[in-house]
Amino acid sequence: MSFTIGTGDTQFHGPGHIIRSMGQEQERKSFDLKTLLRLLVFLRPHWQRMLVAFVFMLTSSGLTLLTPYLVKLAIDRHIVQGDLAGLGRIALLTAVAFLALAFSTAGQQYILSWVGHRVLATLRADLFRHLQRMHLGYHDTHIIGVTLSRVINDVEIINHFLSEGLINLVGDSLILVGIVTVMIIMSPALALVTFSVLPFMFLATILFSRHAKVAYRTTRTRVAAVVGNLAENLAGMRVIQAFAQEESSLKKFDQVNRDNLDAHVEAMSLAFIFLPAVEFLGVLAMAIVLWFGGYSVIEGTISIGTVVAFLSYVTRFFAPIREISQIYTTMQASMAGGEKVIELLESEPEIHDTPDAVVLPGIRGKVEFRRVSFAYNEITVLADIDLTIEPGQTIALVGQTGAGKTTMANLVARLYDVSNGAILIDDIDIRMIAQKSLRSRMGFVSQDPFLFTGTIADNIRFGAPEAPMEAIVRAAEAANAHSFISRLSDGYDTQIQEGGVNLSNGQRQLLCIARAILADPRIIILDEATASVDTLTETLIQEALAHLFSARTAIVIAHRLSTVQNADLICVMDAGKIVEVGKHEHLLSRGGIYRELYDKQFIDKETL
């Protein structure tokens, strides 16, 4: 059933709203230890493999430092001395070192990829599980596309940083420290001259990080804005085409898309400026080594092997710096996304089970409202509702749009909590009943029938996943759906396209009724199931509903008064209150609001 707050107002979040909400995010620290520690929890189940990857990283880092030194030994001790035997041994050792380096690097990458994909799946599963726990008020106030961006885009960048970025950051840092140490040991004078470029490197890094913090945070919000706008427009494509607003919608999307492009270009421009600067400083350092090292060789103060090793170390020195800068940009994005993901995971649903919530083994179906009031965003929707529905009764809620009819249904299913008063099922306050237990005793049929992708059989058994095929067929027969299903080429194995567009609205509604019949609930909530269907289909639906209501408590939200004339009790609602209660004939004779609604529908029908 599609639930909305019964105020009669539709909340529309356009592209402008998306961008404004994005721009209102508070700027936060580029590195948040609390966020990082919270994210590291997802690596805990894989700590053993991460430890193996760490060992591989240490091995590859050590071999990266060793190979240039082996070249130095080959030159100074064997080539210069003409020692062919020694040269052969050192060459073999160098080859083994390179093979071991390749093996350890490949092993590290494989393990990190293995862990990364599992962390990615776990994060998304946890987010989806948490989103299912969130009350409908959360989903009413959060744009679907932005939530999708959190689950898809933000989680992916977080996973990349956790599974690869952290270990590579440690490895690159160890290589930098090792190179500095080895260079100082080999030739302090040449090392100090080579390191003369480091102040410029630190200055470039500081400038880059300062601007990157803002740029990469903006890219995350702009990506979410694009996804949000796209999801909204795809969901509203029928309205866009009906009002011929394709061009207008395209212009709005182009603006959001252009903002996203500009944000990414700005972020990439920073990287493209910083990386060439690092390259230039690397070339400058090599030139210094060649000049000062060559001069020292001529003077006889250092060996040729030392100069060659220095050139190799300088090349390796700036490679980790480039990688660290890239890891830093990933960290910027992951911190920005991580904050939002953690906020979502740590947000507590407003509706939750109490520690002593009971599980109902079964219910009779008595529903009672005791002085129930409900406010949404400080707007009173229901006020002092008193109503008792006996087991097996059919109660109709009628009234103008925005009177509060749908809100009452939402409250019975505890999709929202009452602001004051209490709702009881079989004399038990529903706040004391486990939500899953409560809702498993209820069935919902909405005005806009929703079907999932999958087969017709899968949709009918949605509320009873273990139901055998025989039970599915019986439910379809009771819902008057078996006839049209049998005419389909694949019968019950017919695949439902997204939104059920390959079926008529009436056929979708019959399948939803079959789904409710198979679930065998004790309480049925019906939101005008016969709206927007032809007369013949309405008859089929009414007959199906008769099977559905049999021996069950039914709460019917009615717009067509002709469909509820046989209800046990009709409650007329106005401005969030029940103003009239009675049977059809009794309410007509009173000449109140119900009579006005009935006469208006009768006159409108005669006019048509």
Mean pLDDT of the chain: 80
Q: What is the pLDDT of residue 339?
A: 74
**Residue type at position 546:** A
Question: Which pLDDT value is given to residue 16?
Answer: 37
If one compares 433 and 218, the residue with the highest pLDDT of the two is 433
Name which of 71-75, 394-398, 501-505 the model is least confident about. Answer: 501-505
Q: Distance between CA 323 and CA 309 in Å, rounded?
A: 21
Q: What is the rounded distance in angstroms from the CA atom of residue 86 to the CA atom of residue 75?
A: 11
CB atoms within 10 A of CB 174: 18
CATH hierarchy code of domain 367-607: 3.40.50.300
Query: How would residue 3 be classed by pLDDT, with cut points 50, 70 and 90?
Result: very low
| Residue 546 confidence (pLDDT) above 80 | no
Query: 148-157, 212-221, 290-299, 445-454 — which one is most confidently predicted on average?
Result: 290-299
Share of the chain above pLDDT 70, in %: 87
pLDDT over 70 at 137, yes or no: no
Task: With H, G, I as helix, E, B as strand and everything else as coil, classify residue 535.
Answer: helix
Domain ranges (residues) in the chain: 32-346, 367-607
Interatomic CA distance for residues 142 and 13, integer angstroms: 9
Least confident of 4-8, 174-178, 356-360, 421-425: 4-8
- Of residues 479, 565, 574, the one with CA closest to residue 517: 479
pLDDT tens, residue by residue, 168-211: 888 888 888 888 898 898 888 888 888 888 888 778 777 776 67
DSSP state of 349: P
pLDDT, tens only, 349-393: 777 888 888 888 778 889 999 999 998 777 888 888 899 999 988
Residues in the chain: 608
4-8, 47-51, 103-107: least confident range: 4-8
* pLDDT at position 17: 37
- Specify the range with the lowest mean pLDDT, choosing from 40-49, 340-349, 373-382: 340-349
Read off the pLDDT band of 2 (50, 70, 90). very low
Does 32-346 match 367-607 in CATH topology? Answer: no
Give 606's pLDDT tier (boundaries 50, 70, 90): very low
Q: State the pLDDT confidence band at 531, using cuts at 50, 70 and 90.
A: low
Split at pLDDT 50, 70, 90, the class of 59 is very high
For the chain, what is the radius of gyration of the CA atoms? 35
pLDDT of residue 373: 92
CATH number of 32-346: 1.20.1560.10
Share of residues in the chain with pLDDT > 90 (%): 7
**Whether this model's pTM surpasses 0.85:** no
Check residue 55 and give its pLDDT: 93
Checking if the pLDDT of 96 tops 90, the result is yes
Q: Yes or no: say if 65 and 178 are a contact pair by the CB < 8 Å rule.
A: yes
The pLDDT of residue 472 is above 80: yes
Answer yes or no: is pLDDT of 99 > 90: yes
**Average pLDDT rounded to a whole number, residues 50-60:** 90
Helix axes 47-73, 304-346, angle to 10 degrees: 170
Amino acid residing at 543:
E
**Per-residue pLDDT, 31:** 56
Dihedral pair phi/psi, residue 147, rounded to 5°: -60, -40
| Residue type at 268 in one-letter notation | M
Q: What is the pLDDT of residues 570-597, one digit of tens each?
A: 999 888 888 988 888 888 888 888 888 8
Neighbours of 562 (CB within 10 A): 14
**Contact assessment for residue 506 and residue 450, using Cβ atoms and an 8 Å cutoff:** no
CB–CB of 360/521 below 8 Å? no
Q: Is 319 exposed, middle or buried (0-12, 13-18, 19+ CB in 10 A)?
A: middle
Confidence grade of residue 20 (pLDDT, cut at 50, 70, 90): very low
CB 280 within 8 A of CB 267: no
Q: For residues 8 and 401, is the Cβ–Cβ distance under 8 A?
A: yes
pLDDT confidence tier of residue 32, bands split at 50, 70 and 90: low
Q: Between these two residues, 353 and 429, which has the higher pLDDT value?
A: 429
* Mean pLDDT to the nearest integer, 296-303: 84
